[in-house]
A and B are shown apart, each in its own frame.
Chain A
């Protein structure tokens, strides 16, 4: 009896040391971003995957949640991962929550902007606007004046996202492009 008790105790100890996976830790179908809920972000990420395939790009490089997409992206269970899965997610979000189509699209677009930053978004806030243009101008001005720009380079994405016209120089022309984008997108 003692041996049995000891064995059972040891067994219980061993089992408790093994990490267990509950249903909550495994993403639900469609939750490719793995945040525990179905949102417009999941629809957007699956659509991005579809876009990568059509573009003959490598989806594993284009999509940050590539592995989850492969496992949980077939939301409509038709054997394919494509725009139909995005549509089905969007439809179910609208039908089962108080979100509108517009809300879901904004959710998806905001996610994409944050997850996949755009050229011109030098401060990394998910938008391209006058603030980014100001940073570019300040950077250019400091360069012209011979001032130290390492602070700006370290605290922003100016080097990665500031060269808007592709001429390998970050200057006022790039700020102009940024402003033009901002004006066009906010008409």
Chain B
């Protein structure tokens, strides 16, 4: 297998980063009691990581699924020739992680015993396909089947409806990086972002709920990137609390004072 070169992250993003802790957005897939397998994107030490998450899945001994990315992202090695990391503590078996192409992989896994694999099953890393023009992208798990070892030598549960458990695989309709506070999406957090947020609230006529936000409806915040960047306190609303926080941050930056909040850091939004 040939090792592909890693592309560098856009340096413009790095200019306003203070710290890049591991963060997840609050746009998680809707809660469900049904078995689910989905991807959760996050930022991990400046790299975009996708976690394949099992939720409410029964104990299994084998698994198989495809992972598809949209054109805006591509799979990259985690380290050397390895593509997966952060494996579940019960990940104790043989596996194949086949790179079909930059946006498609196939994964199969088999172990000797049924294990509880709920939580992060494993993680992989991705990068924008066009480094100079990062774009939003999608991520999807195409579930093939899970297996368990029973007295009848095993049965398969699948999403095809042919068995008693249906696995849901919520699709990320869109995902993308944003910088908290960077409301005008110019990679810098400053006074212009404060006025941008204020103008957007005036344009909307009230505090802006993220839950009902759609792109290209507000001229001041035209994209998901700008909207999520404006909700700096992650409460689901773009309001005076947010532009006040950005103003305070900007003041601290001008004064050279320390700041320990999330403004200026990178996160990922996910729309399911």
Contacts and interface: CB of A to CB of B under 8 A. Distances in A.
Same assembly: yes
A94 B93 CA distance: 13
A38 interface: no
Contacts of A94: 112
Interface in B38-67: 61-66
Q: In terms of DSSP, what is the predominant structure of the interface of chain A?
A: helix
Interface string A98-124: 000100110011000000001110000
A165 B3 CA distance: 6
B92 A83 contact: no
A90 B1 contact: no
B38 to A, nearest CB: 18
A131 interface: no
A119 B149 contact: no
Contacts of B122: none
Interface stretch (B78-86, B175-183, B193-201, B263-271): B78-86
Interface in A16-58: 40, 43-44, 47-48, 50-52, 54-57
A101 B110 contact: no
A54 B149 contact: no
Contacts of B92: 101, 105
A177 B92 CA distance: 28
A164 interface: yes
B111 interface: yes
B3 A164 contact: yes
A119 B94 contact: no
A143 interface: no
Assign chain A's interface to a size class.
35 or more
Given A51-B98, A109-B94, A184-B82, A86 B110 contact: yes
B156 A80 contact: yes
B112 to A, nearest CB: 4
A183 interface: yes
A83 B147 contact: yes
A88 interface: yes
B108 A47 contact: yes
B154 interface: yes
A56 B142 CA distance: 13
A43 B31 CA distance: 36
B148 to A, nearest CB: 8
B133 interface: no
A82 B147 contact: yes
Contacts of A40: 94
Nearest to A80: B156
B100 interface: yes
A77 interface: yes
Residue from B1, B106, B112 having most chain A Cβ neighbours under 10 A: B112
B16 interface: no
Contacts of B153: 76-78, 88
B27 interface: no
Nearest to B60: A87
Given A54-B66, A54-B98, A87-B149, A82 B156 contact: yes
Contacts of B148: 84
B112 A87 contact: yes
Contacts of A183: 80
B144 interface: yes
Given A55-B98, A84-B110, A86-B62, 6 more contacts: A44-B94, A54-B64, A54-B98, A84-B156, A164-B2, A165-B5
Interface of B: 1-5, 61-66, 79-82, 92-96, 98, 100, 106-113, 144-145, 147-149, 153-156
